[in-house]
Amino acid sequence: MTPQETRPKSLLVVTSLLLLAASSALAQTTRTWDAGASTSDLLTALNWSGDAVPGNTSIALFDGTVGGDLSLTFGAAFGGSTGLGITMTNTQTGNLTINNSSATQQTIRIDDTTTYGIKIASGAGAFTLALRARRIQCNSCWAVKLAEI
């Protein structure tokens, strides 16, 4: 093979790797709670930055953008099919409580990889999952791990 014949293949490999890296970065979207819809529903798009509900491989960020204690609800599965991460920064000094508002069993899916899981910064308010005998599904792990950031 001559150098001219290998250049197109090398260019194809490099281009493919760049596209793969870009798609991975795009998939890891952070959505910040902004209460734009003035409701407590986690599944209302207007309540999140970008007006989109966090889903698969997203991070649901609570950073104090909305002050005070937050008592939020979900009435259907939250976290997509593969899970999301929940992060509370130290500027979220109010408590965060997440409640299942449905009478039926619903699931919060947490993706417990290096990037995701449940992360609560030192100095953040208390974090409570009030699921009333409902369930948390942790993908890629056998238990939900809490990490201090």
User: Is 133's pLDDT higher than 50?
Assistant: yes
End-to-end CA separation in angstroms for the chain: 52
Calculate Rg over the CA atoms of the chain.
19
Written as six digits, the tokens of 126 are 């208390």
Better-predicted residue by pLDDT, 16 or 38: 38
Tokens 């209460």 belong to 35
pLDDT at 69: 96
pLDDT (tens digit, 9 = 90+) per residue, 29-78? 999 999 999 999 999 999 999 999 998 889 999 999 999 999 999 888 78
The reply to whether the predicted model has a pTM over 0.75 is: no
pLDDT at 9: 57
What is the mean predicted confidence (pLDDT) over 72-85?
84
How many angstroms separate the most distant Cα atoms in the chain?
Answer: 68
Domain residue spans of the chain = 29-148
CB neighbour list of residue 141: distance below 8 Å, 6 or more residues apart: 112
Backbone dihedral angles phi then psi of residue 70, each to the nearest 5 degrees: -115, 125
Q: At 60, which amino acid appears?
A: A
